[in-house]
Structure 1
Amino acid sequence: MQNVIEIFKEITALNRCSGNYEDFISYIKGFSSKYEYECLIDNYNNILCKKRDSKATLCFQNHYDIVCLIDNNIPKIVEENGFFKAENSTLGADNGIGCSYMLSLMSQGYDCEFLFTSDEEIGLIGANNLEHNLNAKYMLNIDSEEEGEICIGCAGGVDIFGKHYGKKIIKNSDNYELYEIEISKLPGGHSGVNIHENRPNAIKLFGKLVKENGGLLLDINAGERINSIPVNVKAIVAFKDYPTNFDEEFICINKCDTKSEHLNIWSSDITTFIYTFANGVRAYDNNLNVVLDSINLAKIKTNIDSIEVELSARSMDNKNLETIKKETASLLEHFGFEVKTAGKYPAWKPDVNEFTNEVLNIYKTYDLNASLEAIHAGLECAIFKDKFPHMKIASIGPNIFNPHSNKESVEINSIKKIGKIVKEIADKF
């Protein structure tokens, strides 16, 4: 697996932002041809590579799209103190590293099924709509982000969307003045993996500022991706007086030069919803040391005639997930939003079997503390277990820190260590 890092650098130079397929598909076609693999692409841009007369019992699977906080961003890799990171952007180690392990195995001629799925980061679209048939008995996903943990279960999730049309023009009889609000420099992070760390949510900070200072909302654009803890807010708000009691480290407030006799404002129900919404962890299991239920207020933006919010709910239990969905929809409707849901994927119930046990045995030769775990994040494994019930599935990965944020990094020694484990698993099955 000596070429994993070299391959990672090659594919990082491609545009792999969610929704962009051409660069990576072109790369994979050339790579497959070079090493004599079939390269099959379905209508959802999922890529399956395998030998023509494959007798594969093991499928390796990863998504190839990455979170880009700036559209069409190509990460510039920086090596620092034993880590790879990127210059002022996400790195795409999630899941460029997993793809690189697979490509390395292909370069060595392994008879496995290699499945590269599309648009995982914007709703597991590729996995949900997979048209390829998989024949392998076992699947190893390499999309986990903490060394030593072998994931055998994960949370299910659903995306919730609200749209509000409550806009009106009022006379500025109370002499409100306009202010530009900008929130930035927050840590951000993954709305599942990092949700229990109480990282500040930019939209919640905004709601607190506006509600506690009697503000009126005119315009807002906040949040980056539905599966990220929001980092940025840009908004125009009317206040009678300059706001007080806010964190100047993250919140910048500038008075606008213009003053209007009339204000085109959004309903106060919108800011009341943001202010009162119970964001973050809803239930935690101290025995398993895992979040059970959570929800993240991820995005909000104004259009010409409507304002839209996006939320992402997760649960380790499908019944609880349905409850959170219904409660959140009801709450949004109470505040005047029209509601729809999408992108639901099931929870993956933990399953210990001959495959997970063998993966654990191999892993323990490199790390005696390795263990079988469940995580509070959505993995495509849940969908594949639903589509292919016969499959035995596990997920591993190197140490990746702060995914979905500008602080994303991956530990180089961990890449090498997991590479050895991946190769041993490929040799075993």
Structure 2
Amino acid sequence: MKDVIEIFKELTNLNRCSGNYNDFINYIKEFANKYNYECLIDNYNNILCKKIDSKAILCIQNHYDIVCLIDNCIPKIIEENGFFKAENSTLGADNGIGCSYMLNLMSQDYDCEFLFTSDEEIGLIGANNLEHKLNAKYMLNIDSEEEGEICIGCAGGVDIFGKTFNKEIIKNSDNYELYEIKISNLPGGHSGVNIQENRPNAIKLFGKLVKENSGLLLDINAGERINSIPVNVKAIVAFKSYPKNFNEDFVCIEKIDTKSEHLTVWNSDITNFIYTFANGVRAYDENLNVVLDSINLAKITTNIDCIDIELSARSMDNENLETIKKETSALLETFGFEVTTAGKYPAWKPDVNEFTNEVLNIYKTYDSSASLEAIHAGLECAIFKDKFPHMKLASIGPNIFNPHSNKESVEINSIEKVYKIVKEIVDKFRP
């Protein structure tokens, strides 16, 4: 039997970037066959492993894709001071650890429904389109990222996309000079769980620099993923003089030694939107110590004839989420953008029941401070609760820090501790 750490290292060697399925599917097929499980794959690359004559009352679920800030990245694991990290990339502990727990349990012949979902990191696509039928009464998701917290509720979310074609050719009568602007070395992070920490947003820093120095935008590519706080910006901007008042720790400005009688520039509405947009936390509940509403300005990309902008909104309340979507869409339209939305998933209203109470009781034998919580991030549990209303759900996980960023790390002792808790829960809910 392979232990959890050994399995995690094997999974890390696979290409699990969102949109890449073959490596993981082939791995699971071979693994399931070895331990006598059915391996069912639907049209959205969701994988359900179960015994042929299964009587499972518990489904264990995790997504298998990871955020890759570089396409097709294979993380190189580094062990340091009791943590696993990766060399200049995301690690994929989110959610390679949960998948490793599941595979280890399969190797011990447990009768559960083991559900591995696809493309969670780019809009919960697999969960939203799940074609497998689940018969289990309970679901344990292992996609949470803080030891001691048992998640029983989460934010809903929606992705908002803007597109503008507003560019023009102007005569350079004011002797503008061209500069390349690079912003980097920001902490980044998850646009849900880290949004309340006021981590700097590279796109907002760029908007402030350009607006307050009366710049003209010629080209921009900024941000990495729609669910990440943006780290990088690379842009070409015209200024009348060298810009002032910017943070040299993060911003690099280099003059481009070329002159032009005419400039092709994007309408100032774009930088005005970036500058004025209220990014980050919109509402916070001090009593629950949780963000209620937020929105993240995540990406901006220059194409041949347009600029695309991507934002991710979250709310613990479905009505509030709809309001943020409508208000942001209207604001974008005011600034000249054509707007579409996608990837909406519901909020998961906190629910205390016999399953969550039993999970809490088991957890407290390992950690007396364990508690039931709700988080400001999208969990697939919300979709499964919507699809399977009879099901009782809870989500736990080991300590994972800075997911979706190059600083992602997972605590090794926490992996081992939470695995013991998971195993005891599975033993409790054996058929």
TM-score category of the 2 structures, normalised to the smaller one: over 0.9
Corresponding position of 2:357: 357
Deviation of 1:6 after TM superposition, in Å, equals 0.3
Distance 1:294 1:11 in 2: 33
What stretches of structure 2 of length at least 5 have no aligned partner?
Answer: none
Distance 2:271 2:136 in 1: 51
Distance 1:62 1:258 in 2: 52
Q: What secondary structure, in the 3-state scheme, does the structure 1 residue paired with 2:322 have? A: helix
Corresponding position of 1:314: 314
Distance 1:153 1:176 in 2: 53
Corresponding position of 1:208: 208
Distance 2:86 2:9 in 1: 11
Corresponding position of 1:185: 185
Counterpart check, 1:199 vs 2:202? no
Distance 1:304 1:189 in 2: 30
What stretches of structure 1 of length at least 5 have no aligned partner?
Answer: none
Letter in 2 for 1:406: N
Q: What secondary structure, in the 3-state scheme, does the structure 2 residue paired with 1:59 have? A: strand
**Residues 141-199 of structure 1, C-alpha deviations (whole Å, 9 max, x = no match):** 00000000000000000000000110100000000000000000000000000000000
Distance 2:96 2:225 in 1: 18
Distance 2:304 2:85 in 1: 38
Distance 2:207 2:14 in 1: 38
Identity of aligned residues (%): 87
Letter in 2 for 1:82: G
Letter in 1 for 2:126: G
Corresponding position of 2:124: 124
Letter in 2 for 1:104: N
Letter in 1 for 2:289: N
**Residues 115-150 of structure 1, C-alpha deviations (whole Å, 9 max, x = no match):** 000000000000000000000000000000000000
Corresponding position of 2:89: 89
Corresponding position of 1:247: 247
Counterpart check, 1:101 vs 2:101? yes
Q: Within 5 A, what are the aligned runs for 1:25-44?
A: 25-44=25-44
Corresponding position of 1:325: 325
**Residues 70-125 of structure 1, C-alpha deviations (whole Å, 9 max, x = no match):** 00000000000000000000000000000000000000000000000000000000
Deviation of 1:258 after TM superposition, in Å, equals 1.3
Corresponding position of 1:228: 228
Letter in 1 for 2:300: I
Distance 1:369 1:261 in 2: 67
Q: What secondary structure, in the 3-state scheme, does the structure 2 residue paired with 1:404 have? A: coil
Letter in 2 for 1:127: A
Distance 1:292 1:158 in 2: 14
Q: Within 5 A, what are the aligned runs for 1:28-427?
A: 28-427=28-427
Task: Name the TM-score, length of structure 2 as normaliser.
Answer: 0.99
Deviation of 1:2 after TM superposition, in Å, equals 6.9
Letter in 2 for 1:282: R
Distance 2:171 2:414 in 1: 61
Q: What secondary structure, in the 3-state scheme, does the structure 2 residue paired with 1:204 have? A: helix
**Residues 3-31 of structure 1, C-alpha deviations (whole Å, 9 max, x = no match):** 00000000000000000000000000000
Distance 1:10 1:382 in 2: 29
Deviation of 1:234 after TM superposition, in Å, equals 0.3
Deviation of 1:259 after TM superposition, in Å, equals 1.3
Distance 1:38 1:251 in 2: 53
Q: What secondary structure, in the 3-state scheme, does the structure 2 residue paired with 1:158 have? A: strand
Q: What secondary structure, in the 3-state scheme, does the structure 1 residue paired with 2:169 have? A: strand
**Residues 180-222 of structure 1, C-alpha deviations (whole Å, 9 max, x = no match):** 0000000000000000000000000000000000000000000
Distance 2:31 2:277 in 1: 48
Letter in 2 for 1:88: N
Deviation of 1:257 after TM superposition, in Å, equals 1.3
Distance 2:136 2:176 in 1: 66
Letter in 2 for 1:281: V
Distance 1:185 1:372 in 2: 35
Distance 1:2 1:352 in 2: 35
Distance 2:293 2:394 in 1: 22
**Residues 28-86 of structure 1, C-alpha deviations (whole Å, 9 max, x = no match):** 00000000000000000000000000000000000000000000000000000000000
Equivalent pairs counted in the alignment come to: 429
Distance 2:304 2:189 in 1: 30
Q: What secondary structure, in the 3-state scheme, does the structure 2 residue paired with 1:99 have? A: helix
Corresponding position of 2:18: 18
Q: What secondary structure, in the 3-state scheme, does the structure 1 residue paired with 2:296 have? A: strand
**Residues 360-379 of structure 1, C-alpha deviations (whole Å, 9 max, x = no match):** 00000000000000000000
Letter in 2 for 1:99: C
Distance 1:256 1:131 in 2: 54
Indicate the RMSD between aligned Cα atoms, in angstroms.
0.6
Deviation of 1:279 after TM superposition, in Å, equals 0.1
Distance 2:130 2:168 in 1: 45
